[in-house]
Chains A and B, each alone.
Chain A
Amino acid sequence: MNVESMYQEIILDHYKNPRGKGRLDSAAAESHQVNPTCGDEVTVQVATDDSGRLRVGYEGQGCSISQASASVMAEMVEGLDPKAAEEIRAAFLELMHSRGDAEPDEDILGDGVAFAGVAKYPARIKCALLPWMALQDAEVKAGITVTVEGETRS
């Protein structure tokens, strides 16, 4: 494992060309998360549309891992049923806590699989998780139900 393989092309691409970045017109709630050891910041806003599907906006500043993770997250969960978004969040969390030994499921995680190498660097796991923590917190504040049955997590 070397550093170049941690910085997958997908991560660099999301870092340089962030998807879905920006604030929502009308957010139900938002969450500002900071990594106090390095100063990385991300604010995630959430809302649901008329059919109950998730809308996500974000802004932030920080390292490539935290900002690319926010971009991947926004792209993946935008327009999803909150429950489906929670499934992805749970899978991403599991991947980050795998110490790099997990076989990530691309069907669930999409571009999120590119972060598998990050799990080998304990100091960077928090960077990758920052936007996902903000998403969860914003959903709780917005009263969006995201409970996932244990058995539905693979």
Chain B
Amino acid sequence: MTQTSVAPTEASAPDGLRPVDVARIRRDFPILARTVRNDRPLVYLDSAATSQKPEQVLEAESAYYRRCNAAVHRGAHQLAEEATDAYEEARRVIAGFVGASADDLVFTKNATESLNLVAYAFSNGTAKGVHAPDAVDPRFVLNPGDSIVVTQMEHHANLVPWQEVCAKTGATLRWIGLTDDGRLDLDGLDTVIDSTTRVVSIVHQSNLLGTINPVSEIMRRAQAVGAIGVVDGCQSIPHMPVDVTALGADLVAWSGHKMLGPTGIGMLWGRHEVLDAMPPFITGGSMIETVFMDHSTYAPAPKRFEAGTPMVAQAVGTAEAVRYLDALGMQNVAAHEHLLTGYALERLEDMRGVRIIGPRDNVARGSAISFVVEGIHPHDVGQFLDDRGVAVRVGHHCAWPTCRRFDVPATTRLSTYIYNDTTDIDVAVEGVRAAQEFFGV
């Protein structure tokens, strides 16, 4: 797209915040200069699915392979030393970004694996507890009668693993329901989370509704009943300042590719004491302390959870992404997106036949906006937008039960990031209008 307009934050950044210079930022993202479908400029509004990557990140990853690629944490040669330094420095930088210490940050291959790592701590702990109760921290042994609590707005990655844990352990899955405007219904919180609750695993910001949840309040309740508290931070950490140690959670999962980093890397932060008590997930090389023919002992966290050759280049790339975001300032990123969200909500609200699924007020809400267009299936809306070069997500967004809650089979979702401005929203809105005209609704 051509950058003739002024970035929306330019004139209106609140006191103490620095406007995000969209025109300058866009120059760092080579993909944003390409055209799609009939030479249309690309309008990328699908960052909640995956963000685009700046030149700096691509270069950091490439430079790692060009200069110091080697197996980490082994080998006595110089490259191995440099590769190990790059990997551990990345851990330090990424941990620092969320207010954490490097010792408490585990690298996984994506956020789904991070959440599975946590879920498997419970099913593996329960299985082990049958034969060797003394070898397992009782917090990770579940029994029939225990409950696990999620919300009705979870991504499948924070729902299906818990369904599996329940099936394996006999625990019961419970969930916090939603209000009609897409917020958590916290009225019955103390009944949903009660003395039987052993795990509370909730999303910080919904990928479908955009809702930002009061996680601290819910984590406090989890703590009060002695449950392990887990937060899915995939949609929040890339878009706002988050100090994982201040959420009251025991464990927080997120991914690199939604925050300007490469695919193939996820993060799991945990309170060290909790990580150290958790049974391992994937076992093998690198995660051990000693190995004999009949048994092994395991390395302390985070290594205990990093079996096999790790994602070194991806860690290096994600650390560079963090530097990029830090240079912008996460407060500024959040303010920029807040303005874009407000603008998009207003434009969509003004449209006949458009219903927003999720909070319509721009309060405690992120920039992922789902909507349905009366008389046109989201797939068809998406196709029309695609024809105009607009990339949005259509479907159930891996949150099928959330769609059912709002009685829609699917939604169209637009989501913004640092490289978007109001003109992107305008092109999308015009595309929706064209679809309405074409379908005669």
A96 to B429, CA, bound (A): 31
Within 8 A of B (CB), among A34-67: 37-41, 61-65
A47 to B383, CA, bound (A): 35
Do residues A38 and B395 form an inter-chain contact, with CB atoms below 8 A?
yes
Do residues A39 and B386 form an inter-chain contact, with CB atoms below 8 A?
no
Do residues A63 and B387 form an inter-chain contact, with CB atoms below 8 A?
no
Do residues B387 and A38 form an inter-chain contact, with CB atoms below 8 A?
no
Chain B interface size, under 10 / 10 to 19 / 20 to 34 / 35 or more: 20 to 34
Interface of A is mostly: mixed
* In the complex with contacts A2-B38, A4-B438, A61-B409, A39-B383 CB distance below 8 A: no
Which residues from A are CB-within-8-Å of B37? 2
* In the complex with contacts A7-B438, A38-B394, A39-B396, A124-B379 CB distance below 8 A: yes
A127 within 8 A of B: yes
A1 to B387, CA, bound (A): 10
A16-39: CB near B (< 8 Å → 1, else 0) gives 000000000000000000000111
Within 8 A of A (CB), among B347-394: 376-380, 383-384, 386-387, 394
Do residues A37 and B387 form an inter-chain contact, with CB atoms below 8 A?
no
A93 within 8 A of B: no
* CB-contact partner of B383 in A12, A41, A124, under 8 A: A124
Do residues B383 and A40 form an inter-chain contact, with CB atoms below 8 A?
no
Which residues from A are CB-within-8-Å of B384? 3
B292 within 8 A of A: no
A90 within 8 A of B: no
A62-93: CB near B (< 8 Å → 1, else 0) gives 11110000000000000000000000000000
* CB-contact partner of B380 in A2, A41, A63, under 8 A: A63
* In the complex with contacts A12-B439, A38-B394, A39-B396, A64-B387 CB distance below 8 A: no
Do residues A39 and B400 form an inter-chain contact, with CB atoms below 8 A?
yes
Do residues A39 and B38 form an inter-chain contact, with CB atoms below 8 A?
no
Which residues from A are CB-within-8-Å of B253? none
Do residues A39 and B409 form an inter-chain contact, with CB atoms below 8 A?
yes
Which residues from B are CB-within-8-Å of A12? 439
* CB-contact partner of B379 in A2, A4, A63, under 8 A: A63
Which residues from A are CB-within-8-Å of B438? 4, 7
Instruction: Give the nearest-CB partner of A118 in chain B.
Output: B383
* In the complex with contacts A3-B384, A3-B386, A40-B38 CB distance below 8 A: no
Q: Return B134 CB to nearest CB of chain A, in Å.
A: 43
B203 within 8 A of A: no
Q: Which 10 A-B pairs have the closest CB atoms?
A: A63-B379, A3-B387, A63-B377, A38-B395, A39-B409, A39-B410, A39-B396, A64-B380, A63-B380, A38-B410
A residues engaging B (CB < 8 A)?
2-4, 6-7, 12, 37-41, 61-65, 121, 124, 127
10 A-B pairs in the complex with CB atoms less than 8 angstroms apart: A2-B38, A6-B383, A38-B395, A39-B396, A39-B409, A40-B379, A41-B409, A63-B377, A63-B379, A64-B439
